[in-house]
Amino acid sequence: MSDARTFRLTVAYDGTAFFGWQKQPDVRTVQGELEAALSRALGGVIKTAGAGRTDTGVHARGQVSSFVHDTTMPARALPHVVNPLLPADMRIMDAVEAAPRFHARHSAIGRRYEYRVLTRPDLLRDRTSWTPLSAPPLELLQQACTPLRGVQDYSAFASTGSESADPVFGLHLARWREAEGGYAFDVIAHHFLYHMVRNLVGTAFAAAKQADPAAHMRAVLESRDRRRAGQTVPPKGLSLEEVYYEGEPVPWAAPGEVA
């Protein structure tokens, strides 16, 4: 492709009926649907990359995808052309032309996930939130997460069954807050281990039942033993909210600074 251009898409989807992001044979995936729609709209076989390989049942408001094509169509026109070809549970929210070397996954320097918990049943939020039988007070959940920030070994929160990743890295944010209908857990890092966010939530719930939630979480963290951590909570509450790239404002920098 001598006139190839690199495009960056922001994609949102309700992950309930998808078998995750990554394209797989004979099952419905976000990447598979996106590539099929792009190929129909632009012609040729289009291969996309995704910033986060969200699992089955996990949602996104801010997934980033990139692809290369020689179309002369303005990037801003892509949502209008491609969205009618996509299923009702996913949408391209934004499209821009990126630098030639841009890659949605490899160029990313941070990802923000949110896990939503309902403290009482809510039919209209049920598809994108977890409703436990009981939820601890918000302040105890937040106490449990105070040891998590900084560069540490997060092996205790990694489930087996996927590609390995370096367990030593830094969490820029690990915070519980009030959200409509319940709570939300926000977490930011360069990358995450398999099921890590869901395991952090499950461990926070377990820690909140202890006399010292922070001490319990710290003991789990320092053990590097998955058996010490809490349950893996359901995927339905998890959403990839934002992806960060160099040269753009990031929430862990000082005001006015960029990555």
Confidence of residue 175 (pLDDT cuts 50, 70, 90): very high
pLDDT at 258: 63
Q: Are residues 83 and 158 in the same domain?
A: no
**Which residues span the domain enclosing 53?**
5-98
In the predicted model, is pLDDT for residue 217 greater than 70? yes
| Domain end residue (candidates: 98, 123, 148) | 98
Confidence of residue 1 (pLDDT cuts 50, 70, 90): low
Q: Report the CATH number at residue 161.
A: 3.30.70.660
Catalytic residue among 3, 14, 55, 126: 55
Whether 251 is covered by a domain: the verdict is no
Confidence of residue 253 (pLDDT cuts 50, 70, 90): confident
> Higher model confidence: residue 161 or residue 162?
161
pTM summary value: 0.95
- Active-site residue flag, 166: no
Q: Are residues 121 and 63 in the same domain?
A: no
Q: Are residues 81 and 198 in the same domain?
A: no
> Higher model confidence: residue 254 or residue 105?
105
Report pLDDT digits (tens) over 71-130: 999 999 999 999 999 999 999 999 999 999 999 999 999 999 999 999 999 999 999 999
Q: Are residues 118 and 54 in the same domain?
A: no
Q: Are residues 134 and 238 in the same domain?
A: yes
In the predicted model, is pLDDT for residue 162 greater than 70? no
Q: Are residues 93 and 126 in the same domain?
A: no
Q: How many distinct structural domains can be found in the chain?
A: 2
Give the DSSP letter string of the chain.
Answer: -TT-EEEEEEEEE-GGGSS-SS--TTS--HHHHHHHHHHHHH-S----EES----TT-EEEEEEEEEEE---S-GGGHHHHHGGGS-TTEEEEEEEEE-TT--TTTTEEEEEEEEEEESS--GGGGGGSB--S----HHHHHHHHTT--EEEE-GGGPPSSS----SEEEEEEEEEEEETTEEEEEEEES---TTHHHHHHHHHHHHTTSSSHHHHHHHHHHHT-GGGS-----GGGEEEEEEEETTSB-TTSPTT-B-
Q: Are residues 34 and 93 in the same domain?
A: yes
Whether 10 is covered by a domain: the verdict is yes
| Domain end residue (candidates: 98, 117, 152) | 98
Report pLDDT digits (tens) over 138-149: 999 999 999 999
Average pLDDT of the chain is: 95
Q: Are residues 132 and 193 in the same domain?
A: yes
Q: Are residues 151 and 232 in the same domain?
A: yes
pLDDT at 86: 98
What percentage of the chain has pLDDT greater than the value 90? 92
Mean pLDDT of 49-74: 97
Q: Report the CATH number at residue 48.
A: 3.30.70.580
Q: Are residues 54 and 92 in the same domain?
A: yes
Confidence of residue 170 (pLDDT cuts 50, 70, 90): very high
